[in-house]
Every structure is written in structure tokens, then in C-alpha cells.
Amino acid sequence: MSIYNPKSLKAEEFINHEEILETIEYAEKNKRNVELIDSILNKARPQKTEHGVHCEGLTHREASVLLACDIPEKIEEMYKLANEIKQAFYGNRIVMFAPLYLSNYCVNGCVYCPYHMKNKHIKRIKLTQDQIRDEVIALQDMGHKRLAIEAGEDPVHNSIEYILESIKTIYSIQHKNGAIRRVNVNIAATTVENYRKLKEAGIGTYILFQETYNKESYLELHPTGPKHDYDYHTEAMDRAMEGGIDDVGLGVLFGLEGYQYEFAGLMMHAEHLEAVHGVGPHTISVPRVKHADDIDPEAFDNSLDDEIFEKIAACIRIAVPYTGMIISTRESQEVRGKMLHLGVSQISGASRTSVGGYTEEDRPHDSEQFDVSDQRTLDEVVNWLMQLGYIPSFCTACYREGRTGDRFMSLCKTGQIQNCCHPNALMTLCEYLVDYASEDTKKIGFELIEKELNKIPNAKAQQIARENVDAIKSSNRRDFRF
């Protein structure tokens, strides 16, 4: 029997099945233990220090107790704490991005994804570099600055050379005042050598969803193809780190397996990265199984309702306070709005989950990876966020200034990130308003920027930010950053 060991590099030891089962049992036993729950909440609260704000975070067991807790007033306390933690480190900024699907060719047999190789009626598309250029210009014309590229696993159609060439193409496109300044990559688990190549290509975060941490379920859900190898897939983040990528993004597809199991596994994976590499996940995504071409979410008997989904988000924020939390357009406007108060710090806007979808006037459905619930334009999403009091941020400064991995985390952990991120968010929002926004969005946005400039604590930084905002409004000068 393998023993739980967060410092191990073996998947079955750092995501240990017996430890997860014991954790779920412990959480169930203590879900109404008010004394224990209070001590866990107190441990998680932000503490002021001479360097800023510090948050302890939680172990997978402590976080699982909070997730199991069904005392209404304690759940309310959790939600308030999740929002308090998010405000302490991310303020009211919400980072904006869009996915860009390069190819839906895939050799895997994943039963929850319409790209599986047995699906013979889905239209298979692989973008040429010219088509990628057209897609990127369409995204730039909306105002996007940050993309997450996606591709199925196919060593022939979607080779690492194709991915690298595509990244180079994306970064090379300057159209009017538009530019993609950060490319995150969501592709299949690969080798240390290939991760090194991705790092050299200038990627931002490497994202890979585990789908499920339960090995038995994983093998059933991935019956054929290279993704069938649970250990190789689960150990991918360690190879990515070895290859020099210091920002990695985790996630599970909630609904494939019992949520308590997935949550404990996700928390253990975050603990493992911290224990081995000294830096936890840069992001954690929270997707749920959704309807797609030949996929019926009702076929999976672990689907979770909005209430549980929201509780999971709050518990992730409390347990892993410094991570960026992502929610996509899989979710409705209503659900996304609630999740913003529970710790989510990044959202996609105007997403198309089909290959080549951004250049089509009407949303194509014949090559979508999943149905998009929130179909608003980027301008509508930006307008909505500002009306809720958030700052939509198109900032990529930390990545381009080398504030990644442990450097980003050390800044974040001391609260110093506020002095960089707040003005950077306002300057990139100003770029968006001047270059792309509707008149109504501009009006709301400029009022918000004026109000938020006053909140920059450092007088010198505030003055520079004001001057830069004025320069953006009065000229074509762009890309100011702290």
C-alpha cells in the first residue's frame, strides 16, 4: 500500500487514495463540530503583518471539514471570509481572458469530451497560421490581451512544433493598438523537454485539468489513448516545473466523480506543489460537466447543484488564498456573478469554444467543445463587471516583468502586489475603454478609473498612474506598466 507523502514525485503517493477516503470520513464526522470549524476559520483569516497581509491557508483535511459543514451561519461566515481573502490579495480586480481553440483533432477516448476520436460526425478542424492570425485579430478587435490556447491531443496534427509556431504567430500580430501580451497554454501532458520549449516560447501559465483524481474513475473515463496513463498525466506539473515553467494551473471537471473526493485531491495537489517546488498553483479552475455535441451531462451521476458549486469555490479561496481562481463561460451570468463574491479572480469573456469560431459572425456549434452559457460580448461583460464595482483588468505586467512563480507569490503573500496590480489594471482598462468600448461602457469606466486612482496608497505611484491614464486617453501610447 502506498503511503501519503506530499513531497513524493509519485502520483499515488501525493494524491493518495486511502488518505482521501480518510479525509472524507474525518470531514463527515466533524461537519458539525463548531469548535473545530471555528478554529479552522480563525486559522484562515487574513492577518496584518509589518510586511502587509498574511494568510495561512489550510490543509486538505481542514478545508474538507469546511466543505462538509452544513451549519447555515457557518457557511455564511465562510462566504464572507472567502470574499475578505480575495479582497486582501486581489482587491476588486477581475482578470479578463479568452480561450483560442487551435485544433480539435484528438486521439484520446475521453467519454465526457466531444473531441474523442470515436466521434465521427464532429467537424475536425486544424487552423493554419493564417487562420490563427485572423482569429487573433478578431480577438484583438474585441479588446483581448490574454489568451489561453487549447488543442486536442494528437501527435500528428497537433505536434509541439505546431503549438510553438502558433504561439510565435500569436505574439507577432500587431493590429491597430491591439496586441496579445500573454499566451497561456492548455495542452496535453508532455515531456520535460517539450515544457522547456514552451517556456522558451514565452508562455504564461501551463494549464492542465486533472479531470478526476480518482484513479479508478480516471481509467474508466479515459479508456483509450495516451491520456489513459493516470500517473503520467497527474505528474505533468512536476515535469513542467522541471522544464522551467513556474506558473501552472490546476483544475478538475466537477461532475465526473464525487465532489468531496475531487476537492480533497485538488487541495492535495496544491500542497504537493508547495511542498516540492516552494510555490503552489498559479491558478485553479472550476469547470463543471456541460452539454456538448454528443455528450449528455445527465449521463454522469455526480453532477452538482449551484449551492455546492459555490461552496467549493469559497473553500478553495480559503484553503489556497494566493491562487488565481478561474470561472469560464460554461457558467451562466447569474452563477458567475455569485462566484465573483466567493473568490473568483479571473473570467473569460465572449468565448467561442469552437475551432475558428471568432471569425464567424454567428456562433458555430459544429466544432464546440462545450455549450457556452454566458454568450455576452466582451463589452457587455466589462460593463457588467464595472456596474458590480469590479475593475476588469487586461494586465499582463507581472508575467512580462518576470514576476512569476515564487516571485509573484512572495509579492502576493505580502500584499505588495496591490501597489503594482491596481494601477496596472486601471491603465489596461483605460486602453480598453479608449480603443474598444461602447459609449455607455466608456462613461461608466472613466468614472470608475477616476474613483479607483484615489485608492492607490503610494502617492508617487498614484501620480504616475494618473499621468499614464491621461497619455492613453490623449494619444496612441499604450502598454504602460509598473
Assess if residue 382 is contained within a domain. Answer: yes
Assess if residue 179 is contained within a domain. Answer: yes
Confidence band for 408, pLDDT divided at 50, 70 and 90: confident
What percent of the chain has a predicted confidence (pLDDT) above 70?
A: 93
CATH of the domain at 359: 3.20.20.70
pLDDT score recorded for residue 386: 98
pLDDT score recorded for residue 439: 98
Q: Which domain holds residue 290?
A: 1-473
The four Cα atoms 383, 457, 344, 469 give a dihedral, to 10 degrees, of: 30
Q: Could you tell me which of 143, 46, 85 has the C-alpha nearest to residue 380?
A: 143
Confidence band for 316, pLDDT divided at 50, 70 and 90: very high
Assess if residue 480 is contained within a domain. Answer: no
Q: Could you tell me which of 347, 346, 366, 344 has the C-alpha nearest to residue 355?
A: 366
Rounded to an integer, the average pLDDT of 390-417 is: 78
Block residue for cell numbers 470561472 = 327
pLDDT score recorded for residue 369: 59
Q: How is residue 287 written as a grid cell?
A: 469547470
The answer to whether 60 and 268 have CB atoms below 8 angstroms apart is yes
Rounded to an integer, the average pLDDT of 441-448 is: 98
Alpha-carbon separation of residue 240 from 32, 141, 249 (angstroms): 40, 32, 11
- pLDDT higher than 80, residue 208: yes
- pLDDT higher than 80, residue 435: yes
Supply φ then ψ for residue 201, to 5 degrees: -75, -5
Assess if residue 479 is contained within a domain. Answer: no
Assess if residue 132 is contained within a domain. Answer: yes
Q: How many domains does the structure of the chain reveal?
A: 1
Rounded to an integer, the average pLDDT of 79-99 is: 96
The H or E element spanning position 170 is helix 160-172
- 235-245: per-residue pLDDT in tens? 999 999 999 99
- pLDDT higher than 80, residue 309: yes
The H or E element spanning position 325 is strand 324-327
- 137-191: per-residue pLDDT in tens? 999 999 999 999 999 999 999 999 999 999 999 999 999 999 999 999 999 999 9
- 48-69: per-residue pLDDT in tens? 887 778 899 999 999 999 999 9
The answer to whether 92 and 83 have CB atoms below 8 angstroms apart is no
Which residues are CB-neighbours of 269 under 8 A, at least 6 positions away? Answer: 14, 15, 210, 213, 234, 237, 250, 281
